[in-house]
Each structure stands twice: as structure tokens, then as C-alpha cells.
Amino acid sequence: MTYLETAAQFYREVAETPQVGLCCVQSTPLQLPGLKIPLPMQEMNYGCGTTVHPTELGNQPTVLYVGVGGGLEALQFAYFSRHAGAVIAVEPVGAMREAAARNLEIAAQENPWFDTSFVEIREGDAFNLPVADLRVDIVAQNCLFNIFEPEDLTRALKEAYRVLKPGGRLQMSDPIATSQIPAHLQQDERLRAMCLSGALTYQEYTEKITNAGFGQVEIRARRPYRLLDSQTYNLKEHLLLESLDSVSFKVAIPEDGACIFTGKTAVYAGSEPFFDDSAGHVLQLGIPAAVCDKTAAKLAAIKPAEIIVTNSTWHYSGGGCC
């Protein structure tokens, strides 16, 4: 079988017999007023983080969710967009589509506000999304794209870019590797399907996103995910995987490169009331200003004795500048 066929078989198994924690580290579902998550959805919560950011889901966005799983995040997105076809859930595995549909029926019984018409489950995959160009406000996926080999990841990212409206957002949660995963693990199709051996490094992952055309990337969370210990996985030393939550915007890439926000700030500590670099960045004396990594490096180079750049917090939720 190809690695994608192995992954499909794996997810067919865990759709038919949910196994808590089998695939990915469990993440606690968001607690939202009036939202009850059915137990079967919780048991099929195979995500490694979250793609649902409540403060940014006003105006009832149309969401394309790639890899529906048990339907948990599709339901969460529908909480904010309560109309027919608000969430389009694309899933290649028939058993998983059936499980998600059953779970959404239960959700409709347990949540008076929810109607199953809010989530439309479609057969399809990340490489050929069954949606027209410029159709949706958000594309989301949780712990799926890391399974793809690099060439297929590029295809999936470009497909997401295609269906997004200008200014739309790609919201992802994926494992990343703190160092290169050795070839013998990358070639293990079962481990890849389990989200344990296909992860790229942070640098490789973000480069894939910006190379697909996304001009701004914001890191919302970065946390430990799983340890590949040296004895079990035949490694020279332990290898830590991390979970990365990100939001990437379909905006033009500036001439000097894409903007990636990781929670850095720049602080002016000179003798004047403020510093103006004549390129759109004004720093007031002693007040941290959120900036992208690219701008942080430029400002630090201009006045290394007077501009302090803080370390990445690996959390950013707006308010900065490139």
C-alpha cells in the first residue's frame, strides 16, 4: 500500500472502534456556553491542539474543515456560524464520514441550537478539495497535514490557498519536530499515519506555508507533544515532537518576505521619546510593541544598543506590525 492508503486504513479502524489517545495526544475540547460535546466525539478527539479561536469567529464565517474526524471541531465551528452549509467537512475515509454523521446527529439531540444542516460532510481529500475557487473564509485541519510527505504537503497547502477568499485564513494544528526525523522512521507508514514520523521542523513547516503564497503566519501555541525515546525508536538520542497551532493569512507576501509572528516585541530604550525607523514602525520609549520576526531582526540591527528584542513567546493574537 501507499502511505496514504495505510493512513486511510488506520483511520478506518479508529472510526469503527474509537480508541482514546491512540493517534494523537488528546486536547481538551473548548468549553463554550451552551455547547455540549457528545461522548463519542470526545472519544474520537484525535487532534493535537485546536484550530478554533473563538475571538476571531465573528460574522459567521464559512469554514472548510479538512479531515472531519469525529466531527468535534466541525461542531465547534458551527457554534459560531449557525446556518445551513456553514461548515463544509471534507473526508476521504467512508467509515469516518459515517461516524462523524452519527456523532453530529447526537449533537443535534443534545444541543437545541444545533442543526445537522450546519455541517455538510463531503467526500474528498486535501489534494482535490470539492470546493470552488475563492469560496471560504477559513480552511482548518487538525493533526492531518503532518502525515503528508513534503510534496503532498505542498499540494495540500496550495489547495487550501485556492479555495480561500482574499484575506482568508488557514488554521492548523500539527506536530513539528525539534530536529530532523531519521529516514527509518519517516519510511514507517504506520508511524506516519499515527502522527509520529512525518513531522517537519519548525523552519521547514513555516517555509512550506509561505512558499504556498501565505503572506502572514501567526503562531498561536507551541507545546510539547510526544517524545520519541531513543530505545523504542532506535535513535541516537531522544527526539521531542511539539504541537504547533498556527493561523496563516491569504495576503500578499511583502517584497522583503512573509511576516511570521511568534510573540516577539521590540522595546525602545534610547534618549528620545520615541524611535521612528521611517518604514512604518514607531516605538515609544519603554513600551513593548509586537512585531514579526523579520521586523524584530531589522530593528535590532539598526540600533542594537537602544532597541531590545524579546524572545518568542510562541503565542500571538494580533496587534503587531510587519
pLDDT in the model for residue 22: 56
Q: Which region holds residue 18: left if phi is over 0, alpha if psi is between -120 and 50, else beta?
A: beta
Binning pLDDT at 50, 70 and 90, where does residue 278 land? very high
Asked if the model's pLDDT at residue 148 lies above 90, the reply is yes
Q: What is the pLDDT of residue 2?
A: 94
Per-residue pLDDT at 311? 97
Distance in angstroms (rounded) separating the CA atoms of residues 60 and 73: 15
Q: How far apart are CA 143 and CA 44, in angstroms?
A: 13
pLDDT band at residue 45 under the 50/70/90 scheme? confident
pLDDT at position 17: 82
pLDDT band of 255, cuts 50, 70, 90: very high
Lowest mean pLDDT among 9-18, 31-40, 292-301: 9-18
Q: Does 38 score more than 90 pLDDT?
A: yes
Nearest one of 270, 161, 291, 147 to 215, comparing CA atoms:
161
Q: What is the pLDDT of residue 19?
A: 67
pTM of the predicted structure, to 2 decimals: 0.95
Q: Is the pLDDT of residue 25 over 60?
A: no
Range list of H helices, the chain: 3-16, 39-43, 72-80, 94-110, 150-163, 183-186, 189-193, 202-211, 293-302
What mean pLDDT, rounded, does the chain reach? 94
What's the confidence (pLDDT) of residue 318?
80
pLDDT tens track for 71-100: 999 999 999 999 999 999 999 999 999 999
d(CA 102, CA 91): 14
pLDDT at 232: 97
* Lowest model confidence (mean pLDDT) among 17-26, 91-100, 241-250: 17-26
Query: What is the pLDDT at residue 312?
Result: 98
Q: What percent of the chain has pLDDT over 70?
A: 97
Length of the chain: 322
pLDDT of residue 179: 97
Closest CA to 225 of 89, 48, 92: 48
Would you say 37 and 27 are in contact if contact means Cβ atoms under 8 Å apart? no
Q: Is the pLDDT of residue 118 over 80?
A: yes
Cα gap 28→11, rounded to integer Å: 21
Task: Look at the block and give the residue holding cell 527509518.
Answer: 184
pLDDT of residue 21: 61
- Band of the pLDDT at 322, cuts 50, 70, 90? confident
Q: What is the pLDDT of residue 234?
A: 97
Cell of 322: 510587519
Evaluate if residue 24 carries a pLDDT over 80.
no
More confident residue, 67 or 319: 67
pLDDT at residue 27, as a whole number: 54
d(CA 253, CA 150): 22
Residues 149-208 have pLDDT tens digits of: 999 999 999 999 999 999 999 999 999 999 999 999 999 999 999 999 999 999 999 999
Q: What was the pLDDT predicted at 319?
A: 75
pLDDT for position 320: 75
User: Could you report the per-residue pLDDT of 46-64, keeping only the tens digit for each?
Assistant: 889 999 999 999 999 999 9
